[in-house]
Structure 1
């Protein structure tokens, strides 16, 4: 987890919920976001002209790639909460590159290869706020690319019945603390980890799951903008 997720909201809906400016006008709802896809994130960064911190909805590649990291054949799309504050790959971004990854829900699979059953996990509301980390690097053409990873934790309740890991979800009314752009020292990072665990403990019991059509198993063979991908299978 988490290897595929859903964002069904329009950009206007996301900017309203998170009180953010829209820097992702081309965003379209997507029901099958996979690693290396461009996803919407919410983060606070200093404005280049005024220096004031501004919260924005912006695009990021779902494959965490800091400037010091060489090219990797394996996408880095999840960060474990157990090591996000101490692992050299993640801790710099956790200290000052925190972001929220909005999602409606995510997929997990059970069963044997070739016969895997697809499950859709979601919250009580249509929007979940997953804790993430972000970074930026300059590409060969001189442009900047933002990339991100979703923080995961030991699964609880419905998610634990399907997979041992789940995203770290925050209550929507508590994202303010996580998005604070202030750089954290070692003690501050540990305090933030403790906060994430406590806050996500309150969201985890609200996660529910149902089985969906196995056509979602093949990311390349489906239309990611098809909302029927998250429709539950009919009862037998």
Structure 2
């Protein structure tokens, strides 16, 4: 799974990396600890006045479709193995796809003296996880939410946890973001599998300070959260 991730990029940096023109994330501040229900930037494409536009939007982490009942589940992850058929996700998979930018994410290992967090990341500045989004009207306001697709972990990720985000290589970003409805689910699922395996080969992990463990007391704006932990003597 992916239960906490890192987005150190500014809005302007994300607009540049993803060649986006719409900026609905002006209030975004880089975070080294994005937790469930937190707002985070996503990249999506929509048709505005018959023109395709790529936006960077702020969305709440935890998918809440418009048809979902208040107080119901808001899953932060969707399994690649069932995302195209699961009733919670299949509509968004068909036509509401997004990218979730991040520098990496955290996973934990149980040690004799407690849980040890690891920062899992790639060599590049930005990873792009395959995500799904939903728009829900609350009063006069439209709220956007999202979930991150995960798969069985590969390479270094698998040494820490059995699941990892489905990261996509830049050459398939356009295909994934395209807003038209998917007609060949198996082709798209195969693309997600191939692309995420390629990114997994570039992933590395190292332990970080246990400050990361307590989301209530850490400072999400503190870049030292992703610094390698000091080795014990």
Q: TM-score, normalised by structure 2?
A: 0.96
| RMSD (Å) for aligned C-alpha atoms | 1.4
Partner of 1:130: 129
Give yes or no for contact 2:64–2:73 (8 Å, CA) kept in 1.
Answer: no
Structure 1 residues 221 and 82: CA distance shift in structure 2, 3 A: same
Give yes or no for contact 1:212–1:230 (8 Å, CA) kept in 2.
Answer: yes
1:172: how far off? Answer: 2.1
Higher helix fraction: Structure 1 or Structure 2?
Answer: 1
Runs (4 or more) in structure 1 with deviation over 4 Å come to: none
Cα distance in 2 for residues equivalent to 1:135 and 1:229? 30
Give yes or no for contact 1:35–1:75 (8 Å, CA) kept in 2.
Answer: no
Partner of 1:163: 161
- Aligned counterpart for 1:228 among listed residues 221, 224, 230: 224
1:197: how far off? Answer: 0.2
Stretches of structure 2 lacking an aligned partner (at least 5 in a row): none
Where 1:225 maps in the other structure, the secondary structure is coil
Matched, 1:120 2:116: no
Partner of 1:41: 42
Q: TM-score, normalised by structure 1?
A: 0.94
Which aligned pairs between 1:71-110 and structure 2 lie closer than 5 A?
71-72=70-71, 74-110=73-109
Cα distance in 2 for residues equivalent to 1:113 and 1:84? 36
Matched, 1:192 2:192: no
Stretches of structure 1 lacking an aligned partner (at least 5 in a row): none
Give yes or no for contact 2:40–2:58 (8 Å, CA) kept in 1.
Answer: yes
Partner of 1:23: 24
Matched, 1:147 2:145: yes
Once the two structures are superposed, what CA deviation does each residue of 1:101-146 show, in whole Å capped at 9, x if it has no partner?
000000000115971001000001121010000011111x221111
Cα distance in 2 for residues equivalent to 1:233 and 1:178? 36
Where 1:116 maps in the other structure, the secondary structure is strand
1:74: how far off? Answer: 4.7
Where 1:173 maps in the other structure, the secondary structure is helix
Cα distance in 2 for residues equivalent to 1:174 and 1:75? 27
Give yes or no for contact 2:39–2:58 (8 Å, CA) kept in 1.
Answer: yes
Give yes or no for contact 1:120–1:211 (8 Å, CA) kept in 2.
Answer: yes
